[in-house]
Structure 1
């Protein structure tokens, strides 16, 4: 692990929290940024350990001033940035015919424009040559579902922002990629799996590897993209979905 300082945006819960935990455990100076101050403080306590270099900062990716302030504060504490991990996102289920304009705007403001704001705040703070930016997209960007069209479209847009940024940052050897998880194993999906009204059709039935994605699966992919072993990987979207977007698996 050559990364010395990382920013994890959306780091108070979910994939972001698990990514922050990984980097803290690796001895990396870690700044977590999140809009939810209460969850941020919980994350700070959960990640605290002797010798940990951890900073938790509240900021809203929809607000440029708070984003700029968070990156300035984090860089002042931990020095130049080696990696930016963008995990912030919202999913507001609704059909496109019924979705409100405010929810549509919020979806894109957080899932795509927020990434752009964080990139602009981070770029001057990358040290010289080298570095990694990883955004969390979604398998919905390859295979949308009815009722999450705006979310899927925002994740496709995020993937294209990643590709364009990779071209623009290549002269500085800053690599830019995204990971695309499928449905994650969470307390919510555990409840769905246990719901007797669903019948015998499991949520994992469309995944060739036969199980749901976990936060650990996604974090391992993020971590790899920040290592020297990924030195020639940029401008790509890595599916972390057990083969779900590859096609329809054989029935058992």
Structure 2
């Protein structure tokens, strides 16, 4: 379905106070949407809502994507406040760069629980509301769903899982005229990326984000997110030129790995991750 007019639509966003969530909220308000902002920080949510509109246009609720009860409670309150929910954007996520050898099980499990299970919980809690309005569910995934960087097994697994899950759920919900999409941006600058830039992956694995691993502008990612909703799209990459990688991951994976990752530099990154005091 094209030309899904956002004016007056109620859009719920998890991770609303994060870098992408905040920018997306502003852009969606610019399209005339009403916003239910969901995050862990009530004070931050209230401040954000106050800058974007009146209480009948924008409001915030505390929600934890690691708890289905929390999401169900928040979305039910938002639906009552606004009279319903049309669209839900699952934008909450975490990212770290660690080798399997140095990573604690808790880090791996937390990443999967927030990035993958959190999207499932968000969609599950949102479904009764979105079904009533034949709406749309959008998950923020990553190009990491298709290009699997070393020292990033937990993140890649979570984002690839989101991609596969969206493809599966889309087939289930087509009978209800509910759309399901996944957005796959490459690197873009947000506060979450600051730590990555300080670690060994940035210089050794991703070539200081030059060439194949260069950043795209946050505004470009936000524009794609808005377009996903307005056109109820299935799978979108940012930049769009990466769509071939998304469509043929099995064919291109070996080529990308050979071009993009230097074996010696990856080995050095793993060593530095395991023994940061020896880096230099």
Q: State the TM-score, normalizing by the size of structure 2.
A: 0.75
How far has the Cα of 1:51 moved from its partner? 8.2
How far has the Cα of 1:38 moved from its partner? 4.3
Does residue 174 in structure 1 map to residue 172 in structure 2?
no
In structure 1, how many angstroms separate the alpha carbons of the residues matched to 2:48 and 2:89? 16
Query: Where does residue 100 of structure 1 map in the other structure?
Result: 104
Between structure 1 and structure 2, the one with the greater Rg is 2
Query: Residue 226 of structure 1 aligns to a residue in which SS?
Result: helix
Query: Where does residue 86 of structure 1 map in the other structure?
Result: 90
| CA distance 1:68–1:160, shift in 2 (3 Å) | same
Gaps of 5+ in 1: none
| CA distance 1:93–1:36, shift in 2 (3 Å) | farther
Encode CA deviations 1:80-134: one digit per residue, 9 max, x unaligned: 2211111101113211122111111111111111111111111111253521111
How far has the Cα of 1:219 moved from its partner? 1.6
Encode CA deviations 1:47-70: one digit per residue, 9 max, x unaligned: 3x4687001111111112211110
CA contact (8 A) 1:13 1:43 kept: no
Gaps of 5+ in 2: 246-255, 261-280
Query: Where does residue 249 of structure 2 map in the other structure?
Result: none
Q: State the TM-score, normalizing by the size of structure 1.
A: 0.83
In structure 1, how many angstroms separate the alpha carbons of the residues matched to 2:54 and 2:85? 22
Query: Where does residue 212 of structure 2 map in the other structure?
Result: 206
Matches within 5 A, 1:68-217: 68-128=72-132, 130-186=134-190, 192=197, 202-206=208-212, 212-217=215-220
CA contact (8 A) 2:228 2:236 kept: no
Query: Residue 210 of structure 2 aligns to a residue in which SS?
Result: helix
Query: Where does residue 239 of structure 1 map in the other structure?
Result: 237
CA contact (8 A) 2:68 2:121 kept: yes
Query: Residue 180 of structure 1 aligns to a residue in which SS?
Result: strand
CA contact (8 A) 1:27 1:53 kept: no
The number of residue pairs the alignment matches comes to 236
CA contact (8 A) 1:213 1:242 kept: no
In structure 2, how many angstroms separate the alpha carbons of the residues matched to 1:141 and 1:100? 22
Residue 18 of structure 2 is aligned with which of 13, 16, 22?
A: 13
**Which protein has the bigger helix share?**
2
Query: Where does residue 223 of structure 1 map in the other structure?
Result: 226
Does residue 22 in structure 1 map to residue 22 in structure 2?
no
Which 4+ residue blocks in structure 1 deviate beyond 4 angstroms?
A: 244-249
| CA distance 1:137–1:178, shift in 2 (3 Å) | same
| CA distance 1:129–1:44, shift in 2 (3 Å) | closer
CA contact (8 A) 1:61 1:67 kept: yes
Encode CA deviations 1:174-202: one digit per residue, 9 max, x unaligned: 1111111111134656x959xxxx69x65
CA contact (8 A) 1:132 1:225 kept: no
